[in-house]
Structure 1
Amino acid sequence: MQTNKQAEQWMAIYTKPRAEKKVAERLADRGYEVYCPTYTTLRQWSDRKKKVTLPAIPSYVFIRIQENLRWEVLKDTAALNFVFWQGKPAVLRDEHIEAFRRFMGELSDTSTVNMADLTSGDRVLIKKGNFDGTEANILKINKKDITLLLPELGIKLVCQHEDIDTLNQ
């Protein structure tokens, strides 16, 4: 027996430029669970310096919603459309949103791995820090850091050598 209630899932909304925080605020006021990652930076004007909060991903807001209710969200004048993938609204897994939330927080100290055993293209496990437990591919190894690709999220991440561990293959 099927139920009419669909499960809520994370989706990405494309917004008008510089409207991310306002869209997130208005949707949250309407009762939706939203996530608009931000960071604070110091900006210099000719007459002053000021701390400003900017979106980490310009023109995007994440919302947890049932797919059949997504048209209600687009009633906001600054919400332009949902992000689509292969003709369907792109759905993000809960663990990816949580991993990104951890990434936006503070990093923690970790132990080291022997870098001589690793080469570009190897698959590794991030063992501590914000993406703890996430598998990644090595793109580039430098003296002080390592560039990883998180294929499920489609993002590059630079971390310290001690933040990763080899996978048993």
Structure 2
Amino acid sequence: MISAMLSKEKKWYAVYTKPRWEKKTDQILIQKGIESWCPMQKAERKWTDRKKIIDIPIFRSYVFVRINEIGRVPVLETDGVINFVHYLGKPAVIRDEEIDLIKQYLLIPGTTIQVADAQVLKEKTRVKIKAGVFMDNEGEILRIGKKKVYVQLQTLGQVMVVEFPIEQLLPV
């Protein structure tokens, strides 16, 4: 009975997509009735004859899906999906709080998120954010520059780069 209840509970997962298929895969998943989210941000692209503002995916080759265990097969059967992102041998569950935090941050006008592979950065300092959207959240800081703080999202193996003053950090 408990396993039947657990299989109905929807959780967020990250799936790998074919390169440059994030938007297409997101749309196909939505058309199939699967709750999907591909975080996007505006970016200026320059060509020789013009400039254009376009939406680009924040996480390359990733799309997030909110499904229960039964929903895994339809996701894997979707064109553009390669596989689920795995952590410790199981599909990685993304906490609702992490998804909500990214969504909240993207609502702030003029904000951008840059993503880097977590394996490139090694420093590990636990901090608590004192102000802003990330207030009262703790995280592992991987590297601190003058304006940028690299915060690791554990379940993705990715780093979200957030720009805010260093004085908003409090060591834990």
Deviation track 1:12-52 (CA, whole Å, cap 9, x = no partner) reads: 01001111111111212222221111111111111221111
- Checking the alignment, whether the CA contact within 8 Å between 1:19 and 1:78 is kept in structure 2 is yes
What number of residue pairs does the alignment pair up? 154
Aligned residue identity for 1:160: P
- Structure-2 residue corresponding to 1:54: 56
The match for 2:133 among 123, 130, 147 is: 130
Q: Structure 1 length normalisation: TM-score? A: 0.76
CA positional deviation for 1:137: 3.8
The match for 2:91 among 78, 89, 92 is: 89
Misfit runs of 4+, over 4 Å: 138-142
* CA RMSD of superposed structures (Å): 2.5
Query: 5+ residue gaps in structure 1?
Result: 108-119
How far, CA to CA, are the matches of 1:84 and 1:122 in structure 2? 25
Deviating more after overlay: 127-136 vs 58-67 = 127-136
- Checking the alignment, whether the CA contact within 8 Å between 2:39 and 2:57 is kept in structure 1 is yes
Deviating more after overlay: 1-10 vs 47-56 = 1-10
Q: Secondary structure at the match of 1:130?
A: coil
CA positional deviation for 1:147: 3.1
Deviation track 1:26-83 (CA, whole Å, cap 9, x = no partner) reads: 2122222211111111111112211111101111000000123201112212111111
Aligned residue identity for 1:124: V
- Structure-2 residue corresponding to 1:164: 169
- Structure-1 residue corresponding to 2:13: 11
In structure 2, the CA distance between the partners of 1:73 and 1:45, relative to structure 1 (3 Å rule), is same
Describe how 1:7-156 pairs up with structure 2 within 5 A: 7-106=9-108, 123-139=126-142, 144-145=146-147, 147-150=149-152, 152=154, 155=159
- Checking the alignment, whether the CA contact within 8 Å between 1:102 and 1:131 is kept in structure 2 is no
Q: Structure 2 length normalisation: TM-score? A: 0.75
In structure 2, the CA distance between the partners of 1:86 and 1:103, relative to structure 1 (3 Å rule), is same
Deviation track 1:69-102 (CA, whole Å, cap 9, x = no partner) reads: 2011122121111111121111111111111222
CA positional deviation for 1:103: 2.8
Query: 5+ residue gaps in structure 2?
Result: 110-122
CA positional deviation for 1:152: 3.6
Q: Identity of counterpart residues, as a percentage?
A: 38
**When you count helix as a share of all residues, which structure comes out higher?**
2
Q: Secondary structure at the match of 2:133?
A: coil
